[in-house]
Each structure stands twice: as structure tokens, then as C-alpha cells.
């Protein structure tokens, strides 16, 4: 086949940064004019992370075509500025489900179904599907977990077979491994890397390149040692040291020649990459002149991975406005009507992200109420929008008992209701409104001003909607519906006219935000937060001057 495959493995420890290394390589190859597709093999038996607790797996990232995926897919999309697809996320659950379904259908003609060849063939088919669907020149596939994990063995066996079947010139193995630094002896130790590579070669895979993760720069002797004992050319040994800015990694890898090494391996001629835009971006974000504080109120705040796309979108918006966004994570269960002002008044803006369930919802509502009444800039996302609607109906429109049927199926005013066409008793997985949907923005609205166009497409992940029966009453009561789905008429955006910045959306704008192209809603929030900060500072200054002159 014409497509080339790069397989990225990891050794020694998990959370080593395989995804960032893979994304950096993908970014470099894309800047050299190649079409790159990114893919993740996850060894867990869940079909996808959609039903997993954030404490287990962090955020669920949703692709344009509606796949619920690992958060690494979000890294890939942001770093490469591409929209990936369901082919990007392959789990053991998906693989085994497919194999068992085929066995039940009789596709194996009575054969004894085994890991080899049936499971490994299914995994290789997912590689072929990714290449075919994307039309990519190069598919970069990250193997989740660490070499030596029993769960990953079928995936590693499958990529070993891929090398045998598709050839050296069509496949490449890149191994990420840790070189720990012992401060007491002031030495970098290569033995863990050697053992990791030994484990990998024992599975029939000889790495073509090694990326060494280290907290300190490595000397020539250390790199020579890794090359010799791991049987990798010195030109194929690269460093991924700790960086002041994460976006420096692609430039550092380029300076070491990793993209040239890969292209030479595949026999591909490509123009040199233009790194000036990325370098200018790094220069800007490492010298930000302003600071803005945003309160993120959620129930998983002790686990930052649960909101990683939101935090990245906030940071990207700050970069565009020369501002360092300091995100303060506030546990929603700790916020009450009595203490909301005390807990939130020191911030420049508020965001209430997506979520499910009653736990912490009252604290989120009280946070929204404080922002609405105090004039603090507010952005609500998905569940945050639903709570904004409930809070407004209760406190402003006098609809006592307004609620979501998720919380109280018998509430007096079900202003948030179950997604049309679904019923009790269905499975939890894959039943949400998922992926990209159109939204028409009302002329003259804040949403229309922020996006600068009439129609947008944003990604969704939810079961409940604003109840169409109450839309007219909500609109007439002052909370304007400014975005709707043109096909179904379902509410996508609400905003509060007259408020400095109060807007909430049913979709997840964080999934379409990019480091150099922030989503307009996040950029609007940070812009409003900076203005709020300036207004508060001016008020305090005037009060101080007035007091001094008395």
C-alpha cells in the first residue's frame, strides 16, 4: 500500500508523553507537506471511554463524526490542527466486539477463533481502514500503555506482523522511554531504557528510533550508550527534555533531525518545514504581558484531565489576547448561595463546563446566579447551559420547581428534558447526541458577533435538551435564545442581553479550539474578563482616591 505507518510505543513508565512526542512528529511531517493521520490503540476492554468515570480516564473527547475517544485524540487534533475521525480511536473492546460479532455471524467458517490470527488481523484491518478513510501519506499510531503490559500484547503482535507483511520501507517503530536522572550522583541512567528495549525486542520488535524522555539534557556519552546497547543508529536517538513551553518540543526534535530521519527511512522527499510561525507563537506565549483569573466550577476539579480541552481552550484564548490565563479549579460541592460571593468575587470570569448528575449541581447553579447578578463574565458549556436555564427560570421567571428531568422526572417545570426519541431501558453507551451539528446564529446576537457568521458547526455530547415547550416563555422572560439547530429547532445557545458577557451553549466549543485559533466563545470570555478586570481595578482606584480626598 502507498500509506506509511509509524508505530509509537512506550517503556519504563506510563504518562511518559508518547502522545505529545507522536503529535510533535505529526506536526513536523505535516509542515513538510505530507498528509498525516493520527491514531490511538487503547488496550482497555471498554468499547470507548464514554461510560467511564473521569477519575478513571479523564475527559471524553468527541470527534466531528461523533466518536467518543481518549483525550489523546484531543492532543492530536490541537497540535496538528486537523479533524480526526472514529478511525482514530481503537480499543480492545472494539476489536473483540467485532471479532465476536463475526464469529456469531459465521464469518470464520467454523474455525477456532484465536488472538492470532483473528484478533491481530482485526487490529491490522483498523490500520488499513485508517489509511483508506483518511487518504493519508503517513498514519501515526500510538500504542497505549507500556511495553510489558499484558493488555497491550495483541496490539504489539499486530504491529510486528505489519512490519513482516508490509515491509521495512512502509513501517517504522519509534520507542519512547525514560532516562531517569539521579540527583544524588548527578547521573542519567540508561539501564531502564535498555531493559525496555530488551522487552520490546523479545516481542519481535526492534525499534528504528528511540525518543529519550529526560528532565535534564543528556550528554553524548549517554546517547552513544543507548545507541550501542539498544541497537539503534546514533542518528536515530533523540531527546525530549523538559521544556519551558511544551510547544518547543517539535522545534527541538526538528533540530535533532527526527523528521529527516523518518523521511529517509521511508524514502520520501519533502520540502523543509517552515517553523517561523510556531517559533513566533512560542515567543509570544512565553512573554505574555497580562494575567487574567478564571474560576472553573466543576465536580472533578482535583483531576485536571477531566477538563483538559477546556483548560487548553482557555489558554489558547489568552494567547490570542496576550494574556496568561490562570485557571482556579473550584469544587462545585463547596459553593452555596451564602458563600458564592466570597468564593468567586476575586475572579475575572467564570466557566461552568459539561457534566452529568445531581452531585454538585446546586453549587454550579449558585455560581451561575452570582455571575448573572454581579456582572461577572460567564460561559456555560453543555450541562453549564442547562443549569443556567434552570437557574434563570427559578430565580427570575418565578418558575419554582424548574428543573431537569435528569434530576427530577416529576418536577413542576421540566425546562430541561430527555433527548427526543429516546426511552427508558436503553444502554448507556453511544446513546447521546454526539458529534458535529449545525447551529444558526440569530442576527444581532452576541453569539453572531463572536463567530462573525450566521451558521456554525460544533460538537455535542449530551442526552438532555432545553424543552421546546418552554422556549417562548424563556425568550420572553429575557434569556435570549440566540442559536438553534436549523433542522430540529433545538436550542444551542442562550445569552443574557444587557449583561457584560453571559452566554451558554449546549455544545462543546472546547473541542474545536486550537492553540493558534481559539474558539470564539472562549476568546470572547477572556476578552470580557480582561475588560471586567480593568473595570473593577478602576472602581477600586476611584474609591481609593475618593477616600483619600475626603
Q: What is the 3-state secondary structure (H, E, C) of 61-88?
A: EECCCCCEECHHHHHHHHHHCCCCCHHH
Higher pLDDT, 220 or 546: 220
Residue 428 C-alpha cell reads as: 448507556
Give the pLDDT of residue 55: 75
Q: Tell me: pLDDT of 357 over 90.
A: no
Alpha-carbon span 137 to 535, nearest angstrom = 52
What would the pLDDT profile of 385-402 be if each residue is shown by its tens digit? 999 999 999 999 999 999
Average pLDDT of the segment spanning 247-251: 94
Quote the percentage of the chain above a pLDDT of 70.
Answer: 95
Q: Are 536 and 330 in contact (CB under 8 A)?
A: no
Residue 242, pLDDT score: 82
Point out the catalytic residue in the list 75, 175, 460, 508. Answer: 508
Residues 388-439 have pLDDT tens digits of 999 999 999 999 999 999 899 999 999 999 865 544 444 445 567 899 999 9
Tell me: the pLDDT tens digits for 275-289? 999 999 999 999 999
Asked about 510 being catalytic, the answer comes back as: yes
Average pLDDT over residues 83-112: 95
What confidence category does residue 243 fall into, taking pLDDT thresholds of 50, 70 and 90? Answer: confident
Q: Of the residues 59, 510, 527, 532, which is catalytic?
A: 510
What value does the mean pLDDT take over residues 504-517? 97
Matching residue, cell 453549564:
384
Helix or strand run (H / E) with residue 50: none
Residue 196 has pLDDT above 80, yes or no: yes
382 catalytic residue (yes or no): yes
pLDDT at position 356 is 82
DSSP structure class, residue 517:
B
181/535 Cα distance (integer angstroms): 48
The CA distance from 88 to 390, in Å, is 37
- Nearest alpha carbon to residue 218 among 176, 179, 257, 261: 179
What does pLDDT average to over the chain? 92
Between residues 209 and 11, which one has the greater pLDDT? 209
544 pLDDT above the threshold of 90: no
SS3 303: coil
CA distance 70 to 10: 17
- Answer yes or no: are the C-beta atoms of 162 and 121 closer than 8 Å: no
Catalytic residue among 57, 59, 175, 382: 382
402 within 8 A of 415, measured Cβ to Cβ: yes
What was the pLDDT predicted at 549? 45
Give residue 426's pLDDT.
42
Query: What local confidence, expressed as pLDDT, does residue 422 receive?
Result: 45
Selected residue with higher pLDDT from 59 and 56: 59
Q: Which residues contact 296 (CB under 8 A, 6 or more apart)?
A: 307, 310, 311, 314, 327, 328, 329, 330, 351, 352, 353
Strands 68-69 and 61-62 come out as: antiparallel
In this structure, of 61-70, 234-243, 387-396, 538-547, the range with the lowest mean pLDDT score is: 538-547
> Which residues have CB under 8 Å from 452's CB, separation 6+?
520
More confident residue, 129 or 304: 129
> HEC profile for 439-492?
EEECCCCHHHHHHCCCEEEEEEEECEEECHHHHHHHHHCCCEEEEECCCCCCEE
pTM of the shown model: 0.92
Q: Which residues contact 202 (CB under 8 A, 6 or more apart)?
A: none
Q: What pLDDT does 12 receive?
A: 78
Quick one: how far is CA 457 from the chain centroid? 18
pLDDT at 377: 98
The pLDDT of residue 429 is 53
Q: What's the CA gap between 523 and 520, in Å, rounded?
A: 5
**pLDDT range class, residue 550, cuts 50, 70, 90:** very low
> How many helices (H) and strands (E) are present in the chain, helices listed first?
18, 23
d(CA 212, CA 72): 20
Please state the rounded mean pLDDT for residues 120-138: 97
pLDDT at 494: 98
Q: Describe the strand order of the beta sheet including 378-381 as a list of residue ranges.
A: 323-331, 290-298, 349-352, 378-381, 502-505, 491-495, 480-484, 433-441, 455-462
- Classify the phi-psi angles of 15: left when phi > 0, otherwise alpha if psi is within -120 to 50, otherwise beta: left
Query: Residue 437: helix, strand or coil by DSSP?
Result: strand
For residue 266, give Cα distances in angstroms to 170, 237, 306: 6, 17, 38
pLDDT at 100: 96
Task: Kindly report which listed range (145-154, 165-174, 326-335, 516-525) carries the lowest average pLDDT score.
Answer: 145-154
Amino acid at each position: 500500500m502507498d500509506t506509511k505507518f509509524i508505530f509509537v510505543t512506550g517503556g519504563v513508565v506510563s504518562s511518559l508523553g508518547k502522545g505529545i512526542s507522536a503529535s510533535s512528529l505529526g506536526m513536523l511531517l505535516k509542515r513538510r507537506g505530507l498528509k498525516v493521520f493520527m491514531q490511538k490503540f487503547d488496550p482497555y476492554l471498554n468499547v470507548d471511554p464514554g461510560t467511564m468515570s473521569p477519575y478513571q480516564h479523564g475527559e471524553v473527547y468527541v470527534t466531528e463524526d461523533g466518536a467518543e475517544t481518549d483525550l489523546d485524540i484531543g492532543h492530536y487534533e490541537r497540535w496538528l490542527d486537523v479533524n480526526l475521525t472514529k478511525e482514530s480511536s481503537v480499543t480492545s473492546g472494539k476489536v473483540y466486539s467485532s471479532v465476536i460479532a463475526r464469529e456469531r455471524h459465521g464469518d470464520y467458517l467454523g474455525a477456532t477463533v484465536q488472538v492470532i490470527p483473528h484478533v491481530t488481523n482485526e487490529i491490522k484491518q483498523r490500520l488499513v481502514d485508517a489509511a483508506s478513510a483518511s487518504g493519508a501519506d503517513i498514519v501515526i499510531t500510538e500504542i497505549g500503555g507500556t511495553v510489558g503490559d499484558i493488555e497491550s500484547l495483541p496490539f504489539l503482535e499486530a504491529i510486528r506482523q505489519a512490519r513482516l507483511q508490509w515491509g521495512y520501507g512502509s513501517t517504522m517503530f519509534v520507542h519512547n522511554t525514560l532516562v531517569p536522572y539521579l540527583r544524588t550522583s548527578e547521573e542519567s541512567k540508561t539501564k531502564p531504557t535498555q531493559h525496555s528495549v530488551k522487552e520490546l525486542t523479545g516481542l519481535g520488535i526492534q525499534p528504528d528510533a528511540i525518543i529519550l524522555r529526560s528532565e535534564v539534557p543528556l550528554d553524548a556519552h549517554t546517547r552513544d550508550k543507548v545507541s550501542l546497547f539498544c541497537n539503534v543508529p546514533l542518528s536515530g536517538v533523540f531527546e525530549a527534555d523538559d521544556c519551558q513551553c511544551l510547544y518547543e518540543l517539535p522545534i527541538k526534535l526538528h533540530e535533532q533531525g527526527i523528521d529527516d530521519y523518518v523521511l529517509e527511512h521511508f524514502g520520501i522527499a519533502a520540502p523543509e518545514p517552515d517553523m517561523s510561525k510556531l517559533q513566533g507563537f512560542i515567543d509570544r506565549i512565553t512573554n505574555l504581558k497580562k494575567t487574567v483569573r478564571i474560576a472553573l466550577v466543576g465536580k472533578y476539579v482535583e483531576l485536571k484531565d477531566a477538563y483538559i480541552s477546556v483548560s487548553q481552550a482557555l489558554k489558547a484564548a489568552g494567547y490570542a489576547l496576550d494574556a496568561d490565563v490562570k485557571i482556579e479549579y473550584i469544587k462545585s460541592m463547596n459553593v452555596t448561595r451564602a458563600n458564592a460571593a466570597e468564593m468567586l468575587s476575586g475572579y475575572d470570569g467564570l466557566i461552568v463546563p459539561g457534566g452529568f448528575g445531581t452531585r454538585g449541581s446546586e453549587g454550579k447553579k449558585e455560581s451561575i446566579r452570582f455571575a448573572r447578578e454581579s456582572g461577572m463574565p460567564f460561559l456555560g458549556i453543555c450541562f453549564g447551559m442547562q443549569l443556567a436555564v434552570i437557574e434563570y427560570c427559578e430565580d427570575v421567571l418565578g418558575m419554582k420547581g424548574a428543573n431537569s428531568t435528569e434530576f427530577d422526572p416529576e418536577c413542576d417545570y421540566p425546562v430541561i428534558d430527555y433527548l427526543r426519541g429516546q426511552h427508558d431501558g436503553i444502554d448507556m453507551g453511544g446513546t447521546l447526541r454526539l458529534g458535529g451539528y449545525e447551529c444558526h446564529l440569530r442576527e444581532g446576537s452576541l453569539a453572531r458577533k463572536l463567530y462573525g457568521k450566521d451558521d456554525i458547526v460544533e460538537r455535542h455530547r449530551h442526552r438532555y435538551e432545553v424543552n421546546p415547550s418552554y422556549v417562548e416563555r424563556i425568550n420572553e422572560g429575557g434569556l435570549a435564545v440566540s442559536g438553534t439547530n436549523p433542522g430540529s429547532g433545538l436550542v444551542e445557545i442562550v445569552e443574557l442581553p444587557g449583561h457584560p458577557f453571559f452566554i451558554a451553549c449546549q455544545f462543546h466549543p472546547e473541542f474545536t479550539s486550537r492553540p493558534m485559533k481559539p474558539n470564539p466563545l472562549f476568546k470572547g470570555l477572556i476578552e470580557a474578563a480582561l475588560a471586567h478586570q480593568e473595570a473593577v481595578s478602576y472602581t477600586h482606584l476611584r474609591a481609593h482616591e475618593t477616600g483619600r480626598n475626603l
